[in-house]
């Protein structure tokens, strides 16, 4: 299995020279199995770059099939949806899977609101030319996605919940735990540990510096240390820091990686836009 | 007056090496009068950085801010929840926008901070918001600014603003398609639709009203999202080309045109070419054509 980060930034897309090495696009991750099957997590602005890449192949001809998992529907995780060009080609089949927000709206109604005529000239999901299905699931179970086994769990994110994923293919496992804040940094929740158990790669929310975290407890994000605790307890083999703060320049992220690495024996890197990585 | 561009991009923010010089953030322009008063035109992602600057200037004290919205597509409002002065208790934010549907403005603007999209709903934001409905043809006054809303041709409606202060004027004309091939109404357009004779009359009237209001304006900021070949493929997307903007400015006797709302796919190198091409084209008809970039500041009127 290979992974490529198309967007690693949290909350807000950041352009400019200070954000070139790690990248300024918001959350979007592509996983590709050895047999070439593909799975996406999140549709932040990073998805618009991935879209260009996909359109060069079968999606440009209306022959693409793509499953997409959404962690939740905060804007930085879906803002690339109206600009994800495979949606505009008839024949593509795209399946979006996620939990219903706890507000009482369904996932589908939420995405309809995103494309409501005030906000988008697309004027509703029904105007996307591709075949689009939106399916809600209740976190805690397993999802069938061609080529992958996906286990899900709900984790706390401020006043709401997000879905965390354990994604396995080709005998390898990637765990995605972003937009999460545990009641205590040193006591990760059991469902998070279970998803991360023996994972080859743990991708974890690391939005806050330690100082910021003291001021922003309860906002639903973690400092880098939270990922370290999960990785160590669950014996994950590698830790990728993810959901970088929009205020974190490349140099600041370098410092976080250096400091975090010095505090654990688990290999740590900061997720960055760029090449495909072997899991 | 002085104007500063905080976001010049259309559709969605585009980080990366290809947009370092012109900038990747979406629509937001600060207009400042000699008195120091300011209005903000559009609340795209550029508004985050503007908010941080305004908060530094105020020393963290509450203030009164005025935001004129051309319309409420995501790329024009997405910065509002990230406008840091909104989190200072006592701050007041007045939002002016076209009402394009039965929903009240507060519901439309508040809709982007619904629980599903953003961690804090508008009601919980410390700043006090008030909403003002804008009608093309009905001028209004904001502090020392005289504001003239102008109807534009964009899906679900859009409004431009002529802003007069300090004896000079600037106009913000975005987002808009030209006024010939497509009349945008309140529905999804899969492609160009044939124009009825009523449509043609409506487009002609919209263009004439725009020209009348731009008459003699010092500087016009115009939606020039597309290059001509792109426009030919997507005439129903609701955006213009620099040539179409230049035609309008020539007819209206405008001194200076600023190209704005650049397509997200246009790289810095492409923008350099656009800037050079239209600087020369403008010069040939007596108009100074500038290409906006993030951080660009321009004095308006007598220098």
Dump pLDDT digits (tens) for A107-118: 999 999 999 988
Contacts of B233 (CB under 8 A, 6+ apart): none
Tell me the chain B residues in contact with residue A115 when contact means C-beta distances shorter than 8 Å: none
A74–B116 CB contact, under 8 Å: yes
Q: Are A182 and A189 in contact (CB under 8 A)?
A: yes
Tell me the chain A residues in contact with residue B189 when contact means C-beta distances shorter than 8 Å: 121
Q: Which residues of B touch A (CB under 8 A)?
A: 11-17, 19-20, 23-25, 45, 48, 72-74, 77-78, 82, 100-101, 103, 108, 111-112, 114-119, 155-156, 186-190, 237-238, 264, 294
User: Is residue B303 over pLDDT 60?
Assistant: no
Name the residue among B77, B238, B9, B112 with its Cα closest to residue A116.
Answer: B112
Tell me the chain A residues in contact with residue B19 when contact means C-beta distances shorter than 8 Å: 15
Contacts of A87 (CB under 8 A, 6+ apart): A81, A94, A128, A129, A130, A132
Question: pLDDT category, B101, cuts 50, 70, 90?
Answer: low
B268 or A103: whose pLDDT is higher? B268
- pLDDT at position B142, please? 97
- DSSP state string for A73-97: -SGGGTTTGGG-GGGGSTT-EEEEE
B119–A19 CB contact, under 8 Å: no
Rounded to the nearest angstrom, the minimum Cα separation between B119 and chain A is 8
ipTM of the complex in this document: 0.95
Element (H, E) at A170: none
Question: pLDDT category, B103, cuts 50, 70, 90?
Answer: low
Rounded to the nearest angstrom, the minimum Cα separation between B11 and chain A is 8
Beta strand pairing status for A172-177 and B219-223?
Answer: unpaired
Which candidate from A75, A80, A120 shows the least CB-CB separation from B73?
Answer: A120
**Residue extents of the structural domains in chain A:** 2-278
Which whole number is the average pLDDT over B140-165?
97
- DSSP state string for B86-127: GGSTT-EEEEEEE--SSS-HHHHHHGGGSTTT-SS-GGGSSS
Tell me the chain A residues in contact with residue B87 when contact means C-beta distances shorter than 8 Å: none
Alpha carbons within 13 angstroms on the beta-carbon side of residue B203 total 17
Tell me the chain A residues in contact with residue B111 when contact means C-beta distances shorter than 8 Å: 113, 116, 118-119
A79–B19 CB contact, under 8 Å: no
Q: Which residue of chain A is at minimal alpha-carbon distance from B14?
A: A15
d(CA B43, CA B46): 7
- Which domains are seen in chain B, by residue range? 2-299 (3.60.15.10)
Q: Which CATH number fits domain A2-278: 2.60.120.10, 3.60.15.10, 3.20.20.70, 3.40.50.720?
A: 3.60.15.10
pLDDT tens-digit map of A235-274: 999 999 999 999 999 999 999 999 999 999 999 999 999 9
Which whole number is the average pLDDT over A146-175?
97
User: Is residue A90 over pLDDT 80?
Assistant: yes
Tell me the chain B residues in contact with residue A75 when contact means C-beta distances shorter than 8 Å: 78, 112, 117-118
**Token digits for B292?**
């906006």
Tell me the chain A residues in contact with residue B188 when contact means C-beta distances shorter than 8 Å: 117, 121-124, 127
Tell me the chain B residues in contact with residue A16 when contact means C-beta distances shorter than 8 Å: 15, 20, 23-24, 294
Which candidate from A119, A160, A220 shows the least CB-CB separation from B72?
Answer: A119
Q: Which residue of chain A is at minimal alpha-carbon distance from B13?
A: A13
Q: Which residue of chain B is at minimal alpha-carbon distance from A119?
A: B73
pLDDT tens-digit map of A171-230: 999 999 999 999 999 999 999 999 999 999 999 999 998 888 988 999 999 999 999 999
CA dihedral sign of residues B32, B38, B42, B45: positive
Question: pLDDT category, A166, cuts 50, 70, 90?
Answer: very high
Instruction: Lowest mean pLDDT of B95-99, B136-140, B248-252, B265-269, name the range.
Output: B95-99
- pLDDT at position B104, please? 83
Q: Between A and B, how many residue pairs show a Cβ–Cβ distance under 8 A? A: 130
């Amino acid at each position: 299995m290979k992974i490529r980060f198309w967007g690693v930034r949290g909350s807000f897309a950041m352009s400019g020279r200070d954000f070139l090495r790690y990248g300024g696009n918001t959350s979007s991750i592509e996983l590709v199995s050895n047999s070439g099957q593909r799975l996406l997590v999140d549709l932040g602005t990073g998805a618009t770059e991935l879209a260009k890449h996909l359109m060069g192949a079968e999606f440009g001809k209306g022959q693409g099939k793509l499953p997409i998992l959404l962690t939740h529907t905060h804007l930085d995780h879906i803002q690339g949806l109206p600009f994800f060009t495979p949606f505009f080609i008839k024949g593509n089949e795209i399946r979006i899977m996620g939990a219903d927000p706890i507000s009482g709206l369904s996932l589908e109604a939420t995405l309809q609101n995103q494309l409501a005529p005030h906000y988008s000239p697309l004027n509703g999901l029904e105007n996307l030319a591709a075949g689009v299905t939106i399916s809600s699931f209740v976190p805690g179970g397993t999802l069938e996605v061609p080529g992958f086994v996906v286990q899900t769990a709900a984790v706390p994110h401020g006043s709401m919940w997000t879905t965390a994923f354990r994604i396995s293919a080709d005998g390898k496992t990637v765990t995605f735990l972003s937009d999460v804040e545990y009641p205590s940094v040193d006591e990760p929740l059991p469902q998070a540990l279970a998803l991360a158990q023996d994972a080859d790669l743990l991708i974890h929310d690391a939005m806050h510096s330690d100082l910021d975290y003291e001021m922003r407890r309860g906002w639903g994000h973690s400092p880098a240390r939270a990922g370290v605790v999960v990785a160590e307890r669950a014996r994950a083999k590698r830790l990728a820091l993810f959901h970088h703060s929009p205020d974190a320049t490349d140099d600041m992220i370098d410092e976080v990686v250096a400091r975090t690495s010095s505090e654990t024996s688990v290999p740590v890197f900061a997720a960055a836009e760029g090449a495909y990585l072997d899991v | 007056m002085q104007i500063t561009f905080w976001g010049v991009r259309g559709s969605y923010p585009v980080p990366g090496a290809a947009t370092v010089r012109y900038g990747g953030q979406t629509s937001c322009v600060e207009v400042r009068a000699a008195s120091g008063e300011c209005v903000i035109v559009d609340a795209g992602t550029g508004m985050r950085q503007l908010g941080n600057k305004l908060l530094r200037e105020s020393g963290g004290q509450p203030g009164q801010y005025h935001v004129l919205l051309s319309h409420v597509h995501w790329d024009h409002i997405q910065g509002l929840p990230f406008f840091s002065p909104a989190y200072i208790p006592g701050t007041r934010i007045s939002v002016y926008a076209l009402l394009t549907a039965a929903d009240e403005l507060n519901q439309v603007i508040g809709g982007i901070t619904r629980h599903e999209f953003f961690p804090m709903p508008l009601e919980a934001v410390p700043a006090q918001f008030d909403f003002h409905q804008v009608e093309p043809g009905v001028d209004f006054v904001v502090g020392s600014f005289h504001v003239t809303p102008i109807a534009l041709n964009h899906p679900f409606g859009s409004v431009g603003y002529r802003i007069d202060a300090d004896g000079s004027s600037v106009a913000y004309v975005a987002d808009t398609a030209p006024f010939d091939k497509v009349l945008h109404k309140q529905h999804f357009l899969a492609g160009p639709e044939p124009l009825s004779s009523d449509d043609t009359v409506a487009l002609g009237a919209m263009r004439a009203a725009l020209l009348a209001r731009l008459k003699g304006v010092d500087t016009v900021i115009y939606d020039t999202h597309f290059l001509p070949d792109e426009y030919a493929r997507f005439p129903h997307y609701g955006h213009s080309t620099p040539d179409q903007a230049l035609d309008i400015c020539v007819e209206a006797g405008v001194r200076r045109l600023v190209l704005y709302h650049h397509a997200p796919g246009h790289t810095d190198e492409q923008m350099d070419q656009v800037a050079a091409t239209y600087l020369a084209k403008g010069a040939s008809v007596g108009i100074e054509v500038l290409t906006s970039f993030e951080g660009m500041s321009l004095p308006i009127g007598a220098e």
